[in-house]
Amino acid sequence: MLTHLDDYPIHQTAEPVAHPSTGDRNFYDRYFFNGYTRDGEVYFAVALGLYPNRRVMDAAVSVVRGGVQRTVRASRLAPFERTETQVGPISIEVVQPLRRHRIRIAPNAYGIAGDLVFEARTQAIEEPRFTRKQEGRLVMDSTRLTQFGAWSGALEIDGERVELQPAQVLGSRDRSWGVRIVGEREGGAPGALPQFFWLWAPLHFDDLCTHFDVNEDAKGRTWHSFGTVVPASPPGSGSVPDGEPEEMARVAHRVRWKPGTRHALSAEIGFQRLGGEKWTIALEPVLHFQMLGLGYLHPEWSHGVWKGENVVDGERWVLADLDPMQPQFLHIQALVRAKLRDGQREREGVGILEQLVIGPHEPSGITGLLDPAK
């Protein structure tokens, strides 16, 4: 099956671009964006995923404002053309690779519409490859880039227009591709109880941005970690510094969990540079965004599930009414205030602490599948 991109010198295998290099049903290719006002009044996120071996493409936009999270989502039969990135009312356009992206949400019945532009303020960061096997089976093998930027344009939320100004509306994006568990549950013999510990923290400061992520097993042993500092231009300047990201020699984290939940009450990130200099970043959560709104852990609209050739749906929640220990509400992104101390000065910033803790994690004092922190 030939497509438009086959006319470009981008092939990685002897197959046409429309044919993944693996037949694994869980192969995926995905966009993710988030954005937030500095004062926490509005938080939004956008995602679009392609699952070619499942023949599914899906997308979602979810917005938190006034304590309510609203979602519009859509699913379709996957197109063969990789440049076709529209699902229902949601479309993503790469205006300038690694610099500028446009998201459009056509008017729909679920109260979210808009025309938004994400413009980078840093170079894109390539995170180390994620590879994980369980009981001899490869369950994750993926690559991700992360990038910081600012937003312009407008959102409409239940008919009210919200203008987005780059100086006030920051965010980050990632692109990931490879293999991870998606779609309908597979058959076969039952496996071990699930366990996943994940923190992801892209943070904005005036002259730089920092990024941190970590995966740990039930004993607290790290199987993936990463930390970096990257120079940043002023939001909305239209430029990106030439400086390359500086990868940290070591990273660390300390989380104070809110009793009765698996969500952070506060947290601290530690960086050690190659020369031995140590930085610390204190994080204070301001609001929670449910990743459920983008399909994560959703009992009906999880990623890559076949819903039909062209289906649009939506829902909304009052966040204060949610039980944080229900499995579908474990996965969150917390908007955080950040304080960076580098030994010479202190910077104040804003960003995200994404959290997902399923199953035991001894360093957190969590021993069961779904018991809360004490």
**What is the tens place of the pLDDT at every residue in 271-318?**
999 999 999 999 999 999 999 999 999 999 999 999 999 999 999 999
The residue type at 207? D
Cβ–Cβ under 8 Å, residues 105 and 117: no
The pLDDT score that the predictor gives to residue 187 is 75
64 vs 1, more confident: 64
Vertex 246 angle, CA 354 and 217, to 5°: 40
The mean pLDDT of 310-329, rounded to a whole number, is: 97
Cα separation of 209 and 364, whole Å?
Answer: 27
Contact indicator for 31, 295 with CB cutoff of 8 Å: no
CB within 8 Å of 69: residues ≥ 6 apart: 62, 63, 289, 290, 293, 316, 317, 319
For residue 243, the model assigns a pLDDT of 85
The sign one gets for the Cα dihedral 90, 94, 98, 99 is negative
Looking at residue 214, its pLDDT comes to 98
Give the structural domain span for 36.
Answer: 4-185+194-364
Helix (H/G/I), strand (E/B), else coil: 328: helix
Segment 58-81 mean pLDDT: 97
Tell me the CA distances in angstroms from 147 to 18, 262, 285, 328, one per residue in order: 26, 27, 21, 27
Tens digits of per-residue pLDDT, 26-63?
Answer: 999 999 999 999 999 999 999 999 999 999 999 999 99
Q: How far apart are CA 34 and CA 10, in angstroms?
A: 28
CATH number at residue 213: 2.40.370.10
Could you give the percent of the chain with pLDDT greater than 70? Answer: 100
| Cα distance between residue 55 and residue 43, in whole Å | 31
Domains held by the chain: number: 1
pLDDT value of residue 288: 97
Residue 373 lies in a domain: no
What pLDDT shows up at residue 151? Answer: 98
Rg (the chain; Cα; Å): 20
Query: Does the pLDDT at position 355 exceed 90?
Result: yes
In eight-state DSSP terms, residue 292 is G
For 190-230, how does the pLDDT look when each residue is reduced to its tens digit (9 = 90+)?
777 889 999 999 999 999 999 999 999 999 999 999 999 99
Q: Is residue 305 part of a domain?
A: yes
Print the SS3 string covering 91-108: EEEEEECCCEEEEEECCC
Residue at 245 is within a domain: yes
Q: What is the spatial distance between Cα 75 and Cα 334, in angstroms, rounded to a whole number?
A: 27
Residue 370 in any domain: the answer is no
Question: Which tokens sit at 283?
Answer: 């994080």
pLDDT attached to residue 287: 96
Q: What is the residue-averaged pLDDT of the chain?
A: 95
What pLDDT does 344 receive?
82
pLDDT above 90: residue 135? no
CA-CA-CA-CA dihedral for 153, 159, 160, 165, to nearest 10: -10
Q: Which residues contact 189 (CB under 8 A, 6 or more apart)?
A: none
What's the confidence (pLDDT) of residue 357?
98
For residue 332, pLDDT over 80 is answered with yes
SS3 131: strand
The arithmetic mean of pLDDT across residues 127-140, rounded, is 91
Tell me, yes or no, whether 374 lies in a domain.
Answer: no
| pLDDT in the model for residue 183 | 86
pLDDT over 80 (residue 88):
yes
Scanning the chain, the segments in alpha helix (DSSP H) are none
Residue 371, in any domain of the structure: no
Between the alpha carbon of residue 284 and those of residues 147, 255, 267, 322, 349, the distances in Å are: 22, 11, 7, 21, 11
Question: What pLDDT was estimated at residue 324?
Answer: 96
Q: Residue 184: its pLDDT value, please?
A: 86
Q: What is the per-residue burial (b if ≥16 Cβ within 10 Å, else e) of 235-271?
A: bbeeebeeeebebbeebbbebebeeebbbbeebebbb
- 354, part of any domain: yes
Q: Is residue 258 part of a domain?
A: yes
**pLDDT band per the 50, 70, 90 thresholds, residue 354:** very high
- For residue 137, the model assigns a pLDDT of 86
Look-up of token digits 């995200």? 352
Look up tokens 């203008």; give the residue: 163
Q: Which two tokens stand for residue 198?
A: 């994940």
